[in-house]
Structure 1
Amino acid sequence: MRASTRDGRDRGWAGELTGGLVAALFVMPAVLGCGVIVFAPLGAAFQSQGIQAAFGATIAAALFRWLMGAGSLHVNAPRATQAALLAGLLGQAMHLADAGGFDAPAGVLLALPVLALGVAALFQLLLGALRLGDVLKFIPQPVVAGFVNGFALVILLQQLPNLLGLPEGTGLAALWSGNGAVNPWAFGLGALAVAGVWLLGDRLPGLPGPLIGLAAGTLAFQALATAIDPALLGVTVKAPPPGLPFAPSLEAVAGLINHPLSGLMLPSILATGVTLGIVSSIQSLLSAAAADALLRSRHDSSRELMTQGGANLVSSLLGGTVTGGSPLYTRVAVRNGACSDRANLFVGLGLLAAALGLGPLMERIPLSVMAGMVVITVMRPDDWTLQMVTLLRRQQTRATRIELLQNLAIVVTVALLVAMADVLVALAVGMALSVVVYLRRSAVSVLRRSYTGDRVHSQTGRSAADMELLERHGGAIAVMELHGPVFFGSAENLARNAEAMVEGRETLILDLGRVNDVESTGILVLRRLDERLAREGRTLLLAGMGKGRGLRRMLRDMGFDRPETEGRIHADLDGALAAAEDRLLARLAGGEAVEDELALRDHPSLLGLTEAQLDLLSLTARRVVFAPGDRILREGSTDNSQFFLVRGRVRVEKRAPDGEQTVRVGSIRSGAVFGEMAMLTGEPRSADVVADSPVVCYELTAEDVAMLDGLDPSISFLLLRNIAVELTGKIARMSRAVTMGDA
């Protein structure tokens, strides 16, 4: 049977064998390093058992993934950050035992990480079974980066005493109190290992950097041991017990259940397990996404969580420690020929062979060298944090710098809390800070733009006199275009902006067309704003609220129904702006009197005609009347009439692609002309024109204009000139609206 990548390259078992064995070689330093970390609170005597647990976990995970056929290639490895979480649980248990004055045997303590790992595994299996794999992706990246960097800081603090060659059980505080001294030989060997990784790690791509550091430090130790007392050089790593690297943990768990420490540690076991499950799941899903990019595949997030949870469950039953997906080792396997999860068979077999034969070799590795390898591995911040720092160092806008600084502040806060407090506290604070940042950003961005009615007008065709009035007095109308959610984090800020915007004006239009949600607090704030404006004699209009829109029904159902009952809700912004203009023009005209019919000879489009020409035109044009809803012009028709509107209002509509629904694109009031473009060009009508109210027009056909041209050519010239003047004014107003910035 042969395996192939999505790009069609067929590599077969030879590629899986080579890729798997090379990946096992690269994983081995991570296994050794995490083995040192996981049982570090128990002292150097348990290093060998920690290394054995790390080997067992990695082997079990690799073989489990191969047996399950989890999908695309994904290589597991022990993660230092997760090992530090288990080590922290051990340290907490030892502190409680000392405070309680009772003995806590090593066998009892070793059951704690086993139980926590079991909880993490069951949590991952539950997430996968409930198809909640994608939910974990909603944890903000700054929080994830804070955890990664925080665990790295924990590891650094744990391993520095070993790197400095301090006596076992001595912490960094001993240096300040004078109760401990640095072993220069041990520190020198550790520094040599760090230098080997630093200088040669990237220059020898065929070898992992940590393996180079281990080899350099160990060879130097063995050379020096032939010339001076080896005891002066510091202690070496304890080799794991001979045999298979698996230690069934049921006996240790039974011992913990009967121990008083179990009741005290149960909340911490559950909390650590859930946190470990979250962190492991996030890292594994991120790693799976990276593997997808390498192999042009697509992973199933929930299936990946179940596979990862199953691997950790097997590992806990066999006494191992936690593992997680690693894009680094996956990339190593792919680059060396692997392309499917079959490579995990050879990863597991390669590590098993190494575990059975590495005991004598590991006893030659100085502890300070191993610590140096771990330190150099975790000193580098995660890639996302480095990217944020790099971006911050460049020339950025003020808004971008604030965004970057906010993200980095969350990363630093979470990292410090992980290292100095508790992971749950770090998670809670990190999520809270992320929510605060989100609320602040949402509160600022709910206002898209604002302007007044003297700068932007509706698409309503009006007389030149009315347009002049709107140019002079349109500032009495304020418009605020909103976007995003209006909720408790943004509603109050919106209300303050609205009250400031409407000061000194008579009408406020809120365009909700781009608002995707308004929750209960937002509705309450809008209702209070409406009531306040009404008390002050001002009017609130709501736009972007078509009849079929759910948001309109929600406002009504939540008790904010006054705009609906008073006719202050409009389907679009243009309709609301036209209604506000009508109110303003009526006030300027001295009231809401019934509109009188305009005499044809007084129509603004006939400016410049003599009395004789007006008489001739009046005799030629036909007076037509339409009821509300009558369709005066139909899109696509080829009739060639133009209409002088002398009473009422019409709306212009475009048909949707389905041919059934229409979209309002503007309206025309008394004193304007419509239909003239089709008469001038001879093209079919581009839109429908429908009466919005009782309408009176005077109709003039192309044949009528030709007859008038024969009688008096200057009539058609004056008509064309007036049409051109009106079109020029419309274009100028549209241009100003398009280029207008936020007020």
Structure 2
Amino acid sequence: MARWGRYSDCTWSTLRKDLVAGTIVGVIAIPLGMAFAIASGVKPEYGIYTTIVAGVLISLFGGSRFQIGGPTGAFIPILFAIAAEYGYENLLIAGMMAGVLLILMGLFRLGVLIQFIPKPVTIGFTAGIAVTIFTGQIASFLGLKGIVRHESFVANMREIGVHLHTANPYSIATAAICLAVVLLGARYAPKVPASLIGLIAASIVAALFFSGKLATIGSTYGAIPNTLPSFHVPVLSWDRIHLLLRPALLIAMLGAIESLLSAVVADGMTGSRHDSNRELIGQGIANVAAPLFGGIPATGAIARTATNIRSGAVSPLSGVIHGAAVLLILLLFAPWASNIPLSAMAPILMVVAWNMSERRSFLRLLKLRTGDSLILAVTFLLTVFADLTTAVEVGLGLAVVLFVKRMGEAHLVSKVLPDPESVKVGPHMVSEDHDCPQIGIYTVEGPLFFGAAYRFERTMPGLGPEPPGVVVLRMSRVPFLDTTGEGNLAKLVADLEASGGRLLVSGIQQQPLELLRRTGLYDAIGSSRFYEHTGDAIDEALRAIPKERCAGCRHAAFRECTALSAGKAIPQPAAAVFKARAGAGAVR
């Protein structure tokens, strides 16, 4: 019942708003669906079928009230590469496999993991995809003849250069008309579907003045059928599944990222909150079903979702209506679509590429000249000059390496002593003439894990020929400990015990404490040697050291040192002094 609660407040007023919004988005989706399909290397009607089937199912089963799904520009390089290497039938199978993976991601509640993909990686591959889409439309914009599309960016650019002399002035004029209408419409009439108006205007001009002088959808791909898509189950086999696993994983990952980013944008525009796991399930169902009707992989479309919201949508019904509107237009007007010039489609995709490029975020990150700038640049260049799979893998790998390096650099070990003027201990109190040869107190800051192990070993002073009898580790600022860090502590304990010393620990947090218990190091150290406050640990250290070694010492590292140096009894314990000065908040 909760699932359908999104429709429980449906009234004639809300239905009217959804009807208007859904129709507007449906009209916008038609030229985009065809353009994305053509750019992906398949027939334009497959983009329309995807818009209908996936658009309806994403709205019905997804986790966002306002999400509009369908073919998107982000998929173009991937789908073209898959179709070119494996064929259209295998592209459908890869899309279905990606749908199953998305459903499993949602069922296992992995939606939150998408949020951990670093921003430089997403901006880098998004900008790279935008460059690929934009440059991929140059040949259609210019009406070049004899062009053979390649997977390689460099090969495609070379192809354009070789055939530049075949440029068709009629194609350029048609593309320029469409581009002008799209840009002017977006600037002066943002509520008008500028891409559709531009496509219609350019098509009319071409039909009246350039008939037969430039390539159209019909002359290149054949007439678009004005019938419902036929149901077809691709032939599955284990060999095919194994062959297409990597492409399917890539489609699923990119689909998850795009859909959840779109849902987040919708949340920001409406103040609502989407269910990320349910959204993944909805996207998965749509991608399993769409290939059964010839559709290509789909995901949430940010621009169409934003248009849906701005047009007044109030529920997922607008997404269902958007799919129904596309179906109705297909049945009524498909024959006319066959006369659309290919050069009129190119400006639409170029504008889509420009809008999705995130150029401002890209330049801002690049100018920082940090590790994030490196991740951004590498991901972008690999997306353009290699492929998206390699780009994401290398980008994520670099992000992990830099994260580990940064966390390791955040780790710090410093020797400290009590400050008699305050209730705190600090490194400023340690000097050559003011130290304790028998007690070493060290503050450990930052996660103690494999990335910080080398720093711990370097910054933790060696025991030397005259090791301290007691080492106090202040670990209240260590939020995380892994087995490598535990190994560092175990080595320290072993070295101390070999020299007759002992280790005391104060202020340890819950996660490091639990790990020490599981590994047995807690028992090896001894439960009595763990203290909540540093003052208590100092008291125990002062009791544990041989007092005869204090005679004549002039370091005066502790308040008690004056009495011990003179061979007198220890005055009021350190913990009591800390507590008296700081109340219940004794130093940890």
If the TM-score is normalised by the length of the shorter chain, which range does it land in? 0.7 to 0.9
2:486 partner letter? I
Residue of structure 2 equivalent to 1:489: 451
Residue of structure 2 equivalent to 1:311: 286
1:515 partner letter? V
Q: State the structure with more CA Rg.
A: 1
Residue of structure 2 equivalent to 1:128: 106
Residue of structure 1 equivalent to 2:481: 518
Residue of structure 1 equivalent to 2:14: 12
Per-residue deviation, residues 210-251 of structure 1 (Å, max 9, x unmatched) = 3354345435434542xxx742xx31222643222413333x
1:362 partner letter? A
Q: Distance between the aligned counterparts of 1:296 and 1:60, measured in 2?
A: 28
Q: How does 1:521-670 map to 2 (within 5 A)?
A: 521-529=484-492, 541-545=504-508, 549=510, 551-552=512-513, 554-555=515-516, 558=519, 560=521, 564-565=525-526, 569-577=530-538, 587-590=549-552, 649-650=572-573, 666=578
2:398 partner letter? L
Residue of structure 1 equivalent to 2:266: 291
1:358 matched to 2:333: yes
The answer on whether the counterparts of 2:61 and 2:281 sit within 8 Å (CA) in structure 1 is no
1:89 matched to 2:82: yes
SS of alignment partner, residue 134 of structure 1: helix
Q: TM-score, normalised by structure 2?
A: 0.80
| C-alpha spacing 1:460/1:132, structure 2 compared with 1 (3 Å) | closer
| C-alpha spacing 1:460/1:167, structure 2 compared with 1 (3 Å) | closer
| C-alpha spacing 1:484/1:454, structure 2 compared with 1 (3 Å) | closer
1:469 Cα deviation from its structure 2 partner: 12
Per-residue deviation, residues 314-346 of structure 1 (Å, max 9, x unmatched) = 211111112212233223222222200111232
| C-alpha spacing 1:555/1:66, structure 2 compared with 1 (3 Å) | closer
Residue of structure 1 equivalent to 2:125: 147
Match of 1:172 among 157, 161, 165: 157
Q: Distance between the aligned counterparts of 2:202 and 2:442, measured in 1?
A: 68
| C-alpha spacing 1:236/1:556, structure 2 compared with 1 (3 Å) | closer
The answer on whether the counterparts of 1:117 and 1:312 sit within 8 Å (CA) in structure 2 is yes
The answer on whether the counterparts of 1:218 and 1:366 sit within 8 Å (CA) in structure 2 is yes
| C-alpha spacing 1:500/1:83, structure 2 compared with 1 (3 Å) | same
Residue of structure 2 equivalent to 1:612: none
The answer on whether the counterparts of 1:73 and 1:340 sit within 8 Å (CA) in structure 2 is yes
SS of alignment partner, residue 475 of structure 2: strand
Residue of structure 1 equivalent to 2:377: 412
Q: Distance between the aligned counterparts of 2:466 and 2:169, measured in 1?
A: 78
| C-alpha spacing 1:178/1:352, structure 2 compared with 1 (3 Å) | closer
Q: Distance between the aligned counterparts of 2:424 and 2:396, measured in 1?
A: 50
| C-alpha spacing 1:438/1:492, structure 2 compared with 1 (3 Å) | same
Match of 1:249 among 187, 210, 232: 232
1:453 matched to 2:414: no
Per-residue deviation, residues 499-553 of structure 1 (Å, max 9, x unmatched) = 399999957643211223221111222333455677899976532238xx56346
Q: Distance between the aligned counterparts of 1:687 and 1:172, measured in 2?
A: 72
1:235 matched to 2:215: yes
1:211 matched to 2:199: no
The answer on whether the counterparts of 1:512 and 1:542 sit within 8 Å (CA) in structure 2 is yes
SS of alignment partner, residue 408 of structure 1: helix
Residue of structure 1 equivalent to 2:556: none
SS of alignment partner, residue 131 of structure 1: coil
Say what the alpha-carbon RMSD is for the aligned residues.
4.4
The answer on whether the counterparts of 1:454 and 1:472 sit within 8 Å (CA) in structure 2 is no
1:51 Cα deviation from its structure 2 partner: 1.8
1:187 Cα deviation from its structure 2 partner: 3.2
Match of 1:424 among 389, 392, 395: 389
The answer on whether the counterparts of 2:25 and 2:304 sit within 8 Å (CA) in structure 1 is yes
1:197 matched to 2:162: no
Per-residue deviation, residues 163-195 of structure 1 (Å, max 9, x unmatched) = 232214334323445786433442343344334
1:347 partner letter? H
The answer on whether the counterparts of 1:125 and 1:305 sit within 8 Å (CA) in structure 2 is yes
SS of alignment partner, residue 167 of structure 2: coil
| C-alpha spacing 1:539/1:180, structure 2 compared with 1 (3 Å) | farther
The answer on whether the counterparts of 1:6 and 1:297 sit within 8 Å (CA) in structure 2 is no
Q: Distance between the aligned counterparts of 2:584 and 2:329, measured in 1?
A: 80
SS of alignment partner, residue 201 of structure 1: helix
Match of 2:65 among 52, 65, 72: 72
Residue of structure 2 equivalent to 1:161: 139
2:171 partner letter? A
SS of alignment partner, residue 187 of structure 2: coil
1:647 Cα deviation from its structure 2 partner: 6.1
More divergent stretch after superposition (2-11 vs 531-540):
2-11
Residue of structure 2 equivalent to 1:386: 360
Residue of structure 1 equivalent to 2:557: none
1:367 partner letter? L
SS of alignment partner, residue 531 of structure 2: coil
Q: Distance between the aligned counterparts of 1:392 and 1:70, measured in 2?
A: 34
Q: How does 1:719-738 map to 2 (within 5 A)?
A: none
Q: Distance between the aligned counterparts of 2:516 and 2:314, measured in 1?
A: 55
Per-residue deviation, residues 547-573 of structure 1 (Å, max 9, x unmatched) = xx5634643653646982597643333
Q: How does 1:443-482 map to 2 (within 5 A)?
A: 443-447=408-412, 450=414, 452-453=416-417, 459=423, 473-474=434-435, 480-482=442-444
| C-alpha spacing 1:480/1:165, structure 2 compared with 1 (3 Å) | farther
The answer on whether the counterparts of 1:194 and 1:373 sit within 8 Å (CA) in structure 2 is yes
Q: Distance between the aligned counterparts of 2:143 and 2:376, measured in 1?
A: 31
The answer on whether the counterparts of 2:448 and 2:481 sit within 8 Å (CA) in structure 1 is yes
Residue of structure 2 equivalent to 1:119: 97
Q: Distance between the aligned counterparts of 1:81 and 1:4, measured in 2?
A: 29
| C-alpha spacing 1:502/1:56, structure 2 compared with 1 (3 Å) | farther
Q: Distance between the aligned counterparts of 1:197 and 1:460, measured in 2?
A: 66
SS of alignment partner, residue 383 of structure 2: helix
2:216 partner letter? T
More divergent stretch after superposition (550-559 vs 319-328):
550-559
The answer on whether the counterparts of 2:62 and 2:283 sit within 8 Å (CA) in structure 1 is no
Answer 1 or 2: higher relative contact order, Cα 8 Å, separation at least 6. 2
More divergent stretch after superposition (156-165 vs 484-493):
156-165
The answer on whether the counterparts of 1:55 and 1:245 sit within 8 Å (CA) in structure 2 is no
2:80 partner letter? A
Q: Distance between the aligned counterparts of 1:574 and 1:409, measured in 2?
A: 46
Q: TM-score, normalised by structure 1?
A: 0.65
Q: Distance between the aligned counterparts of 2:102 and 2:542, measured in 1?
A: 61
1:360 Cα deviation from its structure 2 partner: 4.0
1:144 partner letter? T
| C-alpha spacing 1:412/1:7, structure 2 compared with 1 (3 Å) | farther
1:325 partner letter? G
Q: How does 1:637-716 map to 2 (within 5 A)?
A: 649-650=572-573, 666=578
The answer on whether the counterparts of 1:243 and 1:356 sit within 8 Å (CA) in structure 2 is yes
Q: Distance between the aligned counterparts of 2:345 and 2:142, measured in 1?
A: 12
The answer on whether the counterparts of 2:539 and 2:574 sit within 8 Å (CA) in structure 1 is no
Structure 2 residue runs without a partner (length 5+): 149-155, 554-559
The answer on whether the counterparts of 1:315 and 1:322 sit within 8 Å (CA) in structure 2 is yes
1:111 Cα deviation from its structure 2 partner: 1.0
Q: Tell me the percent identity.
A: 25
Q: Distance between the aligned counterparts of 2:7 and 2:334, measured in 1?
A: 38
1:152 partner letter? A
Q: Distance between the aligned counterparts of 2:6 and 2:70, measured in 1?
A: 24
1:295 partner letter? T
Question: Which protein has the bigger helix share?
Answer: 2
| C-alpha spacing 1:355/1:553, structure 2 compared with 1 (3 Å) | closer
1:128 partner letter? G
| C-alpha spacing 1:240/1:35, structure 2 compared with 1 (3 Å) | farther
1:9 Cα deviation from its structure 2 partner: 11
Q: Distance between the aligned counterparts of 1:318 and 1:74, measured in 2?
A: 22
Per-residue deviation, residues 418-451 of structure 1 (Å, max 9, x unmatched) = 344344333322221121011011101122x746
